[in-house]
Amino acid sequence: MTEGGPTPPTRTGPARLLLADDHDLIRSGLRHMLSREQDLEVVGEATNGLEAVELCRRLKPDLVLMDVRMPEMDGLKASRQVKAEQPEVSVLVVSAYENPEYMFEALKAGAAGYVLKGSPNSQIIGSIHRVLEGESPLNQELAAQLIQRLAKELAAQGAQPIPVETSTTEAPSARRRDVESA
């Protein structure tokens, strides 16, 4: 279990994955990369967001690898609909767009993470495993850009920073007690 996050489901077989991308080459590359992973199984492929939603209903995957921009229904709307209908299904957005806005919208739509298509295979596989374990992997550069933008917006709105003072009545953490007693 991750701290503050959901407990990942216990699985008896490989995790069931659905690939949703409108480009055959991307789906084929993902399928090939994932075929070497014993604990992951591609159970379906969708060429657009509408098809992804329909396949999720029928195939009940553990995780959807969802592209952002697809015909008929984009990946953000599809993610929102999948999460509304099947909250137990995780969504990992795999996008070519290095855009913090897309990442923010994906998270608002219920995606557990956001990884770039240009990432090394090991990073994409690692992100898949992290989502399946209940974590939320995000592209670090995009997350930093998003946090900086939000901080600027809050400052422009006159938001006051939270003081970083420790109370004398606040109990020290177990780690701090260990360090201080050493």
| Cβ-contact 89, 110 below 8 angstroms | no
Residue 25 maps to a domain: yes
Residue 156 maps to a domain: no
Q: Which residue has the tokens 């974590």?
A: 135
Domain count, the chain: 1
What's the full length of the chain, in residues?
A: 182
DSSP strand pairing (90-95 vs 15-20): unpaired
The CATH number that applies at residue 42 is 3.40.50.2300
What confidence tier does 172 reach under pLDDT thresholds 50, 70, 90?
low
Residue 180 maps to a domain: no
Q: Specify the pTM.
A: 0.75
Average pLDDT over residues 161-169: 59
pLDDT score, position 101: 84
Residue 40 maps to a domain: yes
Task: Please report, as a single letter, which amino acid is at residue 165.
Answer: E
Residue 79 maps to a domain: yes
pLDDT score, position 163: 67
Which of 39, 34, 37 has its CA nearest to residue 65?
Answer: 34
Count the Cβ atoms, other than its own, within 10 Å of residue 149: 13
Which of 30, 36, 28, 96 has its CA nearest to residue 63?
Answer: 30
Which of 146, 150, 91 has its CA nearest to residue 115?
Answer: 91
Between these two residues, 166 and 150, which has the higher pLDDT value?
A: 150
Residue 8 maps to a domain: no
Three-state SS at 152 = helix
Residue 181 maps to a domain: no
pLDDT score, position 175: 52
Average pLDDT over residues 135-154: 71
Residue 145 maps to a domain: no
DSSP string of 29-55, one letter each residue? HHHHHHHT-TTEEEEEEESSHHHHHHH
What is the tens place of the pLDDT at every residue in 61-103?
999 999 999 999 999 999 999 999 999 999 999 999 888 888 8
Partnered with residue 94 across adjacent β-strands are 115
Between these two residues, 8 and 147, which has the higher pLDDT value?
A: 147
Domain of 66, in residue numbers: 15-140
